[in-house]
Amino acid sequence: MTQATTTSLSRVAYLRSALAATGSGLLKAFNANKTSWVGLGVFLIVAALAILAPWIAPYDPLDQNILFRLKPPSAEHWFGTDYYGRDTLSRILWGARISLAIGLLAIGSAMLLGTLIGMIAGYYGGRTDIIIMQIMDVLLAFPSLILGLIVVAMLGPSIANLVIAIALTAIPPFARIARAPTIAVKNREFIEAGRALGYSDTRLMFGHILPNIAPEILVMGSLWLATAIRVEASLAFIGLGVAPPTATWGGMIREGFENILDSFWLALFPSIAILIVVFALNLLGDGLRDAIDPRLRGEE
């Protein structure tokens, strides 16, 4: 076996060890605060409904029937129908697929890039830290919705551009949340011991520092996922979301707002869907935060 192959296998083993340590820490954090499980359970139920939408939605979300337009909730249409006679419940289920997919892709990308950027800035420090964090400060100067609006207005409304816009707004917070604990951890004894043994910077950052800061990153991820869903809905509401007739929660609220006085359910039910998901993610994030913060647990 060549030295390169041995080194590659060694790196894989270290990554597996780091992932195992991270998973163990997250499970401990979940068990320490049952609120996290409640939030996770509600979110998984919503995600399952979105995934199963093609099979459980009672109607085609694009199927129009002008004879049944603006019908109130009934046994035939549980959440009523919209201006074109489309079933609101079916559109909410299908809209969940778009809204959750955009949020998960955007925050997943921001989490990976932001964590990497923050770890590099915190680990190397000096001029590298100053330059990186000044760039992040410039991005942080723009409110999330405004920055997303600028990006989508420049690139055009599409799923890919929405993911880019929302991810760009979320990278700086992840970079900051990863940088601070990286600075604290990099000077601890076990990191110094790793350096003395000749461990590479990559191995130290991803094999030893990352598992120690992963719970904080996850807390930020759950909270920012809620923000991403709200930003996507806000952009869709002002006409910069996925183009109709594709169902999205924000787009449905926009359409319902035009008939809010006569057909309030058109805006009410997608708003409740957003509320449930955001509430669940905040429960998840708050529970994890309480579990991993020693001060909130009353520990020394």
229-286: pLDDT as tens digits: 888 888 888 877 787 788 888 888 888 887 777 778 888 888 899 999 988 888 887 7
Q: Which residues on neighbouring strands pair with residue 87, listed in sequence order?
A: 81
Check: CB of residue 183 under 8 Å from CB of residue 209.
no
Tell me the pTM: 0.80
Structure tokens at 117: 């950027």
Residue-level pLDDT at 45:
92
Average pLDDT over residues 64-86: 81
**C-alpha–C-alpha distance, residues 120 and 202, integer Å:** 10
Separation between Cα atoms, residue 243 and residue 251, nearest integer Å? 8
- Residue 120 tokens read as 């590099």
How far is CA 199 from each of CA 5, 122, 205, 289, rounded to the nearest angstrom?
Answer: 17, 18, 10, 31
Half-sphere exposure of 146 (CA within 13 A, CB side): 5
Q: What is the mean pLDDT of the chain?
A: 79
Using the predicted structure, report yes or no on whether residue 106 has a pLDDT greater than 70: yes
Amino acid at the residue 171 = I
Q: What gap in Å lies between CA 247 and CA 97, rounded to an integer? A: 9
Q: For helices 249-257 and 210-237, give the axis angle rounded to 10 degrees.
A: 30
What percent of the chain has a predicted confidence (pLDDT) above 70? 85
**3-class secondary structure, 182:** helix
Residue 142 scores a pLDDT above 70: yes
16 vs 214 pLDDT, higher one:
214
Least confident of 76-80, 174-178, 205-209: 205-209
Dihedrals phi, psi of 63, to nearest 5 degrees: -75, 115
Q: Which pLDDT belongs to residue 17?
A: 57
Handedness of CA 263, 265, 268, 274 (dihedral sign): negative
Instruction: Determine the pLDDT at residue 291.
Output: 64
Q: How far apart (Å, rounded) are the C-alpha atoms in residues 74 and 56?
A: 18
Identify whether the C-beta of residue 292 lies closer than 8 Å to the C-beta of residue 285.
no
Q: Are 78 and 199 in contact (CB under 8 A)?
A: no
Q: What is the pLDDT of residue 113?
A: 92
Per the structure block, which two tokens stand in for 164? Answer: 């880019």
Cβ–Cβ under 8 Å, residues 21 and 28: no
Angle of helix 88-124 versus helix 126-140 axis, rounded to 10: 150
Q: What is the pLDDT of residues 10-68, one digit of tens each?
A: 555 555 555 554 555 556 656 666 777 788 888 899 999 999 988 988 888 888 877 77
- Range 66-71 average pLDDT: 78
Euclidean distance between CA atoms 214 and 177, whole angstroms: 10
Burial class (CB in 10 A: 0-12, 13-18, 19+), 118: buried
